[in-house]
Structure 1
Amino acid sequence: MKSARLFIASLGNPSPHLTTRHSAGHVLLRALQSHLNLPSLKKSKSFAGGLVSLGADVGRPELTLWHSPSLMNISGVALLKAYKQFLSNATPAEGIPGLVILHDEMETAPGRLKVRHGATSARGHNGIKSVQQSLLSAGLMGGLADGASFVKVGIGIGRPAGGTRERDEVSDYVLGQLRGEEK
C-alpha cells in the first residue's frame, strides 16, 4: 500500500495582518509545524515564494507545510504554483498526494475545526473561491462535483457581535487582531 504525501497549505494575509482572524490558517500551520517537530518554515522561490517545511518520519505521511505569501483573496494562483511544485517533486510510486487547505471559518465557533471536501461551497470565502478557481482551471480538481481532490479545514473565528453580515463590519472583524484566548 502506498503512503500518503500531504501538501498542507495555510491561507491568510501577509504582514502586517499575520495575527488577524483572517490569518487563522497561518496560526494553525505554525502550531502543526511546532507540534509535529517539523523543520522551521523557510522562504522558497520554487514554492511561489511561500514559507515551506518539508518533513517525513517513519510511520507517518510525508508532510509539506506551505504558508501562502499572498493576500487571502487572491491566494489561488500562488497555491497552484506551489502545489504543482509539490507534485513535481515525487513519482507516483512514492505515495498518493493529497492537498489540505487551512483557512479561517466564520460559520464555526471560535477555536473549533470544520473539515469539508474541497469542492463544497466556499460560503463566500474569497480565498477559498480563488483556490477552487485556480485548481479547476488547471484541471486539478477533478470537477467541482466530486470534491475528492482536496480537503478544507476551517478554523472557527465566529462572526462579529450580533452575527452581522454587513460587509464593512465583517471586514473589520476578520482583520481584527487575534486576542489571547483566540490564539
Structure 2
Amino acid sequence: MLRYIGWIWPQQAQRQFSTLKEGKPPAILFAAIANPVPQYSGTRHNVGNWALDQVQKGRSDVPPFKSSRTYRGYSASEPSELNAVFLKSTQSYMNLQGRPISKAWSQFKKAYPNHSAAMVILHDEIQIPLGKIQIRRQNTSARGHNGLRSIDSTIGPVYTKIGIGVGKPDNIPVDKHVLSKFCSDELEVLTGESLPQIKAIIDDMLQGKYIYDKQ
C-alpha cells in the first residue's frame, strides 16, 4: 500500500510555473540532486541518484544512464518513447545545484518546444521517516534543504518535488547524518517500501498527474 504524505501549502509567490498548455502534451525532466560521485555514492544526500538508478533498471523503456553532452554535469537517460529525461547529478555539490539545474532546465525546454515542459526534483528529506515518500507541489518551500534552496535562488520553486524520507538523526548533527551511508537494514526499507512508491509516483507523473499542480 502506498503511503504518501499530504501536500504542503506555503504562501503563493509570483513565478513562471509549469502549466499544461492546450495542444501541447506533457514532457518531464526528472532530476536527482546529490553530491559528487563516486565520493558520496550511497549516502543519504544521494538517495535521489539511487532511486533513479533503480527506476531505470526496472523499466525496459528507460535506457541506461550515460554521460551527456547536452546535460553537462549529469548522467542522463533519454527514453524517446516517454517524452522524458532522467538526470543524476554527478559533479556538483548539493549546495551548488542551482546553476546546473537551471542550465539543464533550459536545455530540456529547448528540446521539447511543442510540449508542456515540467520538472521534478528528487531529493533526500529528513522531515519524513525512512520508508515514506512525499510529493510537494510547485511553489513549496525548501524546508532548509541546501540543494533546493540553491535551485530556488536561481529559478524559483517552479518544480514538483519527490522527497525521499531518510529520517532525522538522533545523536549526530544533521550534516553528518545526510553524509552518512545507509546500513543494510535501511537499504532493505528503501528497496521494499520507498522504491515501490517512487516507481508508482513516476508512472503517475508520466501520465500528467501532479506535475502541473501548484500553490
Q: TM-score range by the shorter chain?
A: 0.7 to 0.9
Aligned-partner Cα distance in 1 for 2:46–2:88: 10
Determine helix, strand or coil for the equivalent of 1:51. strand
Asked if the contact 2:75–2:88 (Cα under 8 Å) also holds between the matched residues in 1, the reply is yes
The residue number in structure 2 matching 1:151 is: 160
The residue number in structure 1 matching 2:42 is: 19
Aligned-partner Cα distance in 1 for 2:132–2:180: 18
Aligned-partner Cα distance in 1 for 2:78–2:186: 27
Taking structure 2 as the reference length, the TM-score comes to 0.71
Can you list the C-alpha shifts for 1:72-97, whole angstroms capped at 9, x where unaligned? 111111111111111111222xx211
Q: Given the alignment, which residue of 127, 134, 159 partners 2:147?
A: 127
The residue number in structure 2 matching 1:55 is: 79
Q: Given the alignment, which residue of 2, 5, 28 partners 2:51?
A: 28
- Cα deviation, residue 152, structure 1: 0.5
Aligned-partner Cα distance in 1 for 2:102–2:186: 29
Aligned-partner Cα distance in 2 for 1:130–1:48: 18
- Cα deviation, residue 19, structure 1: 0.7
Aligned-partner Cα distance in 2 for 1:179–1:118: 33
Can you list the C-alpha shifts for 1:7-64, whole angstroms capped at 9, x where unaligned? 000011112111100111111111121222311111113212211100133xxx4120
Determine helix, strand or coil for the equivalent of 2:177. helix
Query: RMSD value over aligned CA atoms?
Result: 1.6
Determine helix, strand or coil for the equivalent of 1:45. coil
Aligned-partner Cα distance in 2 for 1:121–1:170: 19
Letter of the aligned partner of 2:103 in structure 1? Answer: K
Letter of the aligned partner of 2:69 in structure 1? Answer: K
Aligned-partner Cα distance in 2 for 1:109–1:118: 22
Aligned-partner Cα distance in 2 for 1:36–1:135: 31
Determine helix, strand or coil for the equivalent of 1:36. coil
The residue number in structure 1 matching 2:170 is: 161
Q: Which runs of 5+ in 2 are unaligned?
A: 1-22, 188-215
Structure 2 residue 105 is the aligned partner of structure 1 residue 83: yes
Determine helix, strand or coil for the equivalent of 2:49. helix
Q: Which runs of 5+ in 1 are unaligned?
A: 142-148, 163-167
Letter of the aligned partner of 1:67 in structure 2? Answer: K
Letter of the aligned partner of 1:55 in structure 2? Answer: P
Asked if the contact 1:119–1:132 (Cα under 8 Å) also holds between the matched residues in 2, the reply is no
Q: Given the alignment, which residue of 84, 87, 91 partners 1:66?
A: 87
Aligned-partner Cα distance in 2 for 1:180–1:86: 36
Aligned residues: 162
- Cα deviation, residue 119, structure 1: 2.0
Aligned-partner Cα distance in 1 for 2:121–2:141: 14
